[in-house]
Amino acid sequence: MNFQDKTIIITGAGGNFGRDGCIYFAKQGAKIAAFEVNAETLEETAKLVKEQVPGAKILCQPCNVTDAANVKAAVDAVVAEFKTIDMCWNNAGYQGHITPTLQYDPVDFARVMNINVTGMFIVLQAVAKKMEAQGKRDTTYSIVNTASVAGLHGTPAMVAYSSSKAAVLAMTVSCSKDLAPYGIRVNAISPALIGPGFMWDRQNELHASSGSPYYSRDPETVAKNKVNDVPMKRLGTIQEVIQSVAFLLSDQSSYTTGTNLVVDGGVISGLKC
Ligand SMILES: NC(=O)c1ccc[n+]([C@@H]2O[C@H](COP(=O)([O-])OP(=O)(O)OC[C@H]3O[C@@H](n4cnc5c(N)ncnc54)[C@H](O)[C@@H]3O)[C@@H](O)[C@H]2O)c1
């Protein structure tokens, strides 16, 4: 897959996926525009990219995806620096509380929806406006939204997160239809169980203590049961997620739009939604 000199915006660039994504695409020669609300983790990502990819081009934009003016200014800054935008990994997200429905705090529900749905739409629209203004070309522009298998299956004790990721899938399909005439492809990626690491361990602890009858009270048993449900009987890796995103962003998938790639513990399957 050739990303040499292409510009990619990656949101959530200070997080697990976003950070490794910045490093991966920098290694492929892409110009990186890293968007992140947390200035400290963003700085750390920039440092790692520069250490691991000497000469890499990276523009850091501290940016809150829920703030349309903030996002517009960040996207304008990318065009000012790199001239064009070719790709976007629309990836920032918030998992919300791990609490069964009867106890779920509506304030947190709204926060999850604001970041994961409205924020994702704000970025998508701001990026697509620039792509449309750049004009049609031989290859397509490409946007990948990070959804989750929670949006397909509905994870217990994660009603807000599951709802938000289902909305991301519907957004992806709807936007893909609106934007195809401009040569802009929009797809989604749905990671399942990704690990090992802090996020995986923490999630199992939270599920174990959630009070949900669907989870054991013991985090290790929670983890074992979850992995047992995965076809390949193992966790997926961040690199497997990134490889799938890279495929959807690349010209190799130039006819693919309105789809959702499920990264299910190592099994990657296409699902037209
Ligand atoms: N890690 C997993 O197992 C997993 C599985 C399925 C889906 N996902 C999704 O993948 C994406 C990345 O996950 P991750 O594991 O890297 O999570 P993470 O928490 O490490 O990273 C998410 C990043 O988004 C940033 N962010 C949150 N709100 C923001 C805002 N308003 N504006 C800008 N940035 C904001 C956070 O600061 C964080 O750096 C998320 O959308 C998540 O829902 C993750």
3-state secondary structure (DSSP) of residue 11? strand
- pLDDT above 60: residue 268: no
| pLDDT score, position 1 | 81
Whether residue 164 has its Cβ less than 6 Å from ligand 1: no
Do you find a cis peptide bond into 219, omega within 30 degrees of 0? no
Query: Could you say which DSSP state residue 114 is in?
Result: I
| pLDDT score, position 13 | 99
Active-site entry in 24, 104, 141, 161: 161
Pocket test for ligand 1, best of 9, 10, 36 (most atoms within 8 A of CB): 36
Specify which residues 35 forms β-bridges with. Answer: 11, 61
What is the Å distance from ligand 1's center to 41 Cα? 12
- Contact yes or no for 13/83 (Cβ under 8 A): no
Model confidence over 144-158: pLDDT tens digits? 999 999 999 999 999
Whether residue 199 has its Cβ less than 6 Å from ligand 1: yes
Q: Residues 248, 251, 254, CA angle at the centre, nearest 5°?
A: 75
User: Which residue's alpha carbon is at the smallest distance from atom 3 of ligand 1?
Assistant: 194
Q: Is 24 a residue of the active site?
A: no
User: Cα–Cα distance between 179 and 121 in angstroms, integer?
Assistant: 13
- pLDDT above 70: residue 266: no
Atom of ligand 1 nearest to the CA of 119: 31
What is the Å distance from ligand 1's center to 116 Cα? 9
- pLDDT above 50: residue 272: no
- Contact yes or no for 55/80 (Cβ under 8 A): no
Parallel, antiparallel or unpaired: strands 259-264 and 31-36? unpaired
Query: What mean pLDDT do residues 37-51 have?
Result: 98
Query: What mean pLDDT do residues 80-103 have?
Result: 98
Q: Which two tokens stand for residue 209?
A: 């203590």
What is the Å distance from ligand 1's center to 18 Cα? 8
Q: Which two tokens stand for residue 191?
A: 């990671």
User: Cα–Cα distance between 230 and 76 in angstroms, integer?
Assistant: 42
pLDDT band of residue 74 (cuts 50, 70, 90) is very high
pLDDT band of residue 203 (cuts 50, 70, 90) is very high
| pLDDT score, position 273 | 43
- pLDDT above 80: residue 119: yes
Specify which residues 58 forms β-bridges with. Answer: 32
Domains and CATH numbers, the chain: 7-198+237-272 (3.40.50.720)
Whether residue 93 has its Cβ less than 6 Å from ligand 1: yes
Query: What mean pLDDT do residues 43-52 have?
Result: 98
Whether residue 66 has its Cβ less than 6 Å from ligand 1: yes
Parallel, antiparallel or unpaired: strands 259-264 and 184-191? parallel
User: Cα–Cα distance between 99 and 127 in angstroms, integer?
Assistant: 34
User: Cα–Cα distance between 197 and 180 in angstroms, integer?
Assistant: 38
Parallel, antiparallel or unpaired: strands 259-264 and 267-272? antiparallel
Average pLDDT along the chain: 95
Query: Could you say which DSSP state residue 155 is in?
Result: -
Whether residue 14 has its Cβ less than 6 Å from ligand 1: yes
pLDDT band of residue 36 (cuts 50, 70, 90) is very high
Neighbours of 245 (CB within 10 A): 29
User: Cα–Cα distance between 89 and 46 in angstroms, integer?
Assistant: 17
- Contact yes or no for 265/231 (Cβ under 8 A): yes
% of the chain exceeding 90 in pLDDT: 93
Phi, psi for residue 165 in degrees, rounded to 5: -75, -30
Model confidence over 217-252: pLDDT tens digits? 999 999 999 999 988 899 999 999 999 999 999 999
User: Which residue's alpha carbon is at the smallest distance from atom 38 of ligand 1?
Assistant: 15
